Amino acid sequence: MKIIMLGAPGAGKGTQAKKIAEKYSVPHISTGDIFRSNIKNGTELGMKAKAFMDQGLLVPDELTCDLVVDRIGQDDCKNGYILDGFPRTIPQAEALNTALKSMGTSIDYAIDVEVQDSHIVNRMSGRRACTGCGATYHVKYNAPKAENICDACGEALVLRDDDKPETVQKRLTVYHDQTQPLIDYYKKAGVLRTVDGTLDMEDVFSAIIAILGE
């Protein structure tokens, strides 16, 4: 089961990807997690990625394509995987398609988690990230036990630069310009499925399971 998660930043596709991965015992491959790990460790790749992410811009293709293709070629991906945050552009999708063809395989489903922009801005501005372990919270939907303190490790929680309303709006503009065409791309390929991302998290998950099957 090879799945691509589509949707604007903050649509909740990452949360759903993790739940799908757990249910079907396949790896959840998030380029966002890879970039954040590199940023935290101060690597050259991380610093390059951070410069783009802090401005609400997409990380260039050359920083991601080879990394993803190498990852899906590993043993734990034999029974499938879920790509979260990649591809983001048509050239990335075409590069992925070419790589998969050379491996004798293809994507089974591209699932679009659909949410209005205004809903996303409100949702993301409430997010808080732990400066220690990277855990994420939401001031309304998933608040920590103590304000601005991580439940897991006790470190401070912060509003990341890329979650600030002005940056979120810029990210959404970039998404509509560069990433939303992927919806048409995968629709033409016959693998696109759409779910309503404004529903309760469990209802969104149920809708996805209905698509994938038990």
Helix then strand count (H, E) for the chain reads 9, 8
**Catalytic annotation, residues:** 13, 88, 127, 160, 171
The token pair that represents 183 in the structure block = 């919806």
Is pLDDT at 102 greater than 80 in this prediction? yes
DSSP letter for each residue of 62-114? GGTHHHHHHHHTSGGGTT-EEEES---SHHHHHHHHHHHHHTT----EEEEEE
AA letter at 93: A
Query: Are 194 and 188 a contacting pair, CB within 8 Å?
Result: no
* pLDDT bucket at 93, cuts 50 / 70 / 90: very high
Give the span between the Cα atoms of 107 and 60, in whole angstroms. 22
Query: Are 29 and 83 a contacting pair, CB within 8 Å?
Result: yes
Query: Are 72 and 26 a contacting pair, CB within 8 Å?
Result: no
pLDDT at 130: 93
pLDDT at 34: 75
CATH topology of domain 2-117+178-212: Rossmann fold (3.40.50)
State yes or no: cis peptide before 87, omega within 30 of 0. yes
Give the span between the Cα atoms of 212 and 5, in whole angstroms. 13
pLDDT at 151: 95
Is pLDDT at 108 greater than 90 in this prediction? yes
For the whole model, what pTM was predicted?
0.75
* pLDDT bucket at 46, cuts 50 / 70 / 90: confident
Mean pLDDT within 5-13: 90
pLDDT at 203: 96
Q: What is the pLDDT of residues 132-189, one digit of tens each?
A: 998 989 998 889 999 999 999 999 999 998 889 999 999 899 888 888 899 999 999 9
* pLDDT bucket at 110, cuts 50 / 70 / 90: very high
The token pair that represents 172 in the structure block = 């959404």
* pLDDT bucket at 94, cuts 50 / 70 / 90: very high
- What are the structural domain ranges in the chain? 2-117+178-212
Instruction: Identify the burial level of 81 via C-beta atoms within 10 angstroms of its C-beta, where 0-12 means exposed, 13-18 middle and 19 or more buried.
Output: buried
